[in-house]
Structure 1
Amino acid sequence: DEQQESEKPSTSSQSQPVHSVTSWKTETDPDVCPVPKMFMPARPPGHQLNSGTKYSPLDLFKLFFSNSAVQTICQHTNKQAAKDIAKGKRYSWTDINCQEFFKYVGLNFFFALVKLDNIQDYWKKSTIFSVPFPANVMPRDRYRMISWNIHMSDPEKDVENDQKKGAPDYDPLFQLKPLLDTIKTACKAFYHPRRNLSIDKRMVAHNGTTQYIKAKAKLTKWGFKLFVLADSSNGYTWDFAVYTGKSQLASGVGLAYDSVMSLMKTAYLGSGFHLYVDHFYTSPKLFKELLSLNIGACGTYRDTRRECPRTNSNALKKSDPRGSIRWIRDGPLLFVKWMDTREVSVCSTIHEAFSGSTLHKRMKTKDGSWTTKSIPCPTPVVEYNRHMGGVYLSNQLIQCYSVHYKSMRWYRTLFFHFLDIAATNSFLLHKELCREKKEEPMTHRAFLQELTAQLCGVTVVTPPAQAHSGHLPVAISEQTELSKRASYGRRTCVHCRKTKQYGTICFIFFSATTM
Structure 2
Amino acid sequence: MLKYLSIVLYLGLVKPSAARDLWRKDRLHNHPFPCGVMPGYRAYYHPHQNLAIDERMVASKARHGMKQYLKDKPTKWGFKLFVLADSKTGYTCDFNVYQGKALTPSGNGLSFDAVVNLLRVPYLGTGYHVFVDNFYTSTALFQHLHIHYGACGTIRENRIGFPKTTMNSLPKKAVRGDMRWIRDGPLLRAVTIPEPVLEYNKYMEGVDLSDALINYFSVTQKCRHWYKKLFLHFVDIAVVNSYILHKEMALEKQHKPITQKLFTAS
Short-chain TM bin: 0.7 to 0.9
Q: 2:132 aligns with which of 259, 264, 277?
A: 277
> C-alpha distance in 2, partners of 1:248/1:431?
34
| SS of alignment partner, residue 396 of structure 1 | helix
Q: How does 1:326-337 map to 2 (within 5 A)?
A: 326-334=180-188
Letter of the structure 1 residue corresponding to residue 227 of structure 2: Y
Q: Which residue of 2 aligns with 1:421?
A: 237
Taking a change above 3 Å as real, the CA distance of residues 308 and 280 of structure 1, as seen in their structure-2 partners, is same
In structure 2, relative to structure 1, the CA distance for the partners of 1:317 and 1:301 (3 Å cut) is same
CA RMSD, Structure 1 to Structure 2 (Å): 2.7
User: Does the 8 A contact of 1:353 with 1:380 survive in 2?
Assistant: no
Letter in 2 for 1:278: D
Asked if residue 389 in structure 1 is aligned to residue 245 in structure 2, the reply is no
* 8 Å Cα contact 1:202/1:228 also seen in 2: yes
Q: Distance in 2 between matches of 1:188 and 1:309?
A: 39
Tell me the distance in 1 between the aligned counterparts of 2:39 and 2:225.
24
**Superposed displacement of residue 213, structure 1:** 2.6
1:437 to 237, 243, 253: 253
Among candidates 206, 212, 226, match of residue 68 of structure 2: 212
Equivalent residue, structure 2, for 1:199: 53
Give % identity: 49
Relative to structure 1, is the Cα distance of residues 317 and 206 closer, same or farther in structure 2, using a 3 angstrom cutoff? Answer: farther
Distance verdict in 2 for CA 1:185–1:200, change over 3 Å = farther
Q: Which structure's CA Rg is the greater one?
A: 1
Describe the superposition over 1:355-381 as per-residue Cα deviations: whole angstroms up to 9, x where unpaired: 44xxxxxxxxxxxxxxxxxxxxx1110
1:312 aligns with 2:135: no
1:212 Cα offset (Å)? 2.5
**1:201–1:275 Cα change, 3 Å:** same
Structure 1 residue 188 corresponds to structure 2 residue 29: no
For 2:172 and 2:215, how far apart are their aligned partners in 1?
38
Deviations 1:166-206 (A, max 9, x none): xxxxxxxxxxxxxxx99x97232121112111111110001
Measure the CA separation in 1 of the matches of 2:108 and 2:39: 28
1:246 and 2:101 correspond: yes
Return the offset for 1:268. Answer: 2.5
**Residue 272 of structure 1, CA deviation:** 1.2
CA-to-partner distance for each residue in 1:316-348, whole Å, 9 max, x for gaps?
A: 2564211111111111122xxxxxxxxxxxxxx
Distance verdict in 2 for CA 1:303–1:187, change over 3 Å: farther
Q: Superposed, which structure 2 residues align to 1:3-14 within 5 Å?
A: none
**Partner Cα separation in structure 2 for residue 397 and residue 410 of structure 1:** 23
- Is contact 1:206-1:408 (8 Å) kept? no
Distance 1:443 1:320, change over 3 A: farther
Taking the aligned partners of 1:215 and 1:317, their CA distance within structure 2 comes to 33
Q: 2: distance between equivalents of 1:326 and 1:381?
A: 12
Partner of 2:221: 405
Q: TM-score, normalised by structure 2?
A: 0.80
Q: Which amino acid aligns with 1:354?
A: V
Residue identity opposite 1:215 in structure 2: K
5+ residue gaps, structure 1, are: 1-69, 77-152, 158-180, 335-351, 357-377, 448-515
Unmatched 5+ stretches in structure 2 = 13-33
Q: What amino acid sits opposite 2:90 in the alignment?
A: G
Indicate if the aligned counterparts of 1:208 and 1:410 stay in contact, CA closer than 8 A: yes
User: Are the counterparts in 2 of residues 207 and 406 from structure 1 also a CA contact under 8 Å?
Assistant: no
Whether 2:155 is the aligned partner of 1:301: answer: yes
Deviation, structure 1 residue 237:
0.5
**TM norm structure 1:** 0.43
Which whole-Å deviations, capped at 9, do the CAs of 1:77-112 have from their partners, x for residues lacking one? Answer: xxxxxxxxxxxxxxxxxxxxxxxxxxxxxxxxxxxx
Deviation at 1:207? 1.7
Asked whether the equivalents of residues 353 and 379 of structure 1 are also in contact (C-alpha less than 8 Å), the reply is: no
Output the amino acid matched with 2:71. Answer: A
**CA offsets per residue over residues 372-426 of structure 1, 9 Å max, x none?**
xxxxxx1110111111111111111001111111112111001111110111011
Residues 318 and 205 from structure 1, CA distance in 2 versus in 1: closer, same or farther, beyond 3 angstroms?
farther
Q: Which residue of 2 aligns with 1:455?
A: none
Whether the 8 Å contact between 2:60 and 2:226 is mirrored in structure 1 is yes
Q: 2:115 aligns with which of 255, 260, 267?
A: 260
Deviations 1:3-32 (CA, angstroms, capped at 9, x unpaired): xxxxxxxxxxxxxxxxxxxxxxxxxxxxxx
Residue 250 of structure 1 and its aligned partner are, at CA, apart by 0.8
Matched residue type, 1:325: M
- 1:287 CA displacement: 0.7
- Structure 1 residues 391-400 or 310-319, which shifts more? 310-319
SS of the aligned residue for 1:225 comes to strand
2:191 corresponds, among 339, 342, 354, to: 354
Give the distance between the partners of 1:355 and 1:313, measured in 2 at CA. Answer: 18
- Does the alignment pair 1:232 with 2:87? yes
CA apart distance, 1:309 = 2.1
- Paired amino acid for 1:207: K
SS of structure 1 residue aligned to 2:169: coil
The answer as to whether partners of 1:198 and 1:230 remain within 8 angstroms in 2 is: yes
Deviation at 1:249, TM superposition (A): 0.4
In structure 2, the CA distance between the partners of 1:310 and 1:200, relative to structure 1 (3 Å rule), is same
- How many residue pairs match? The answer is 236
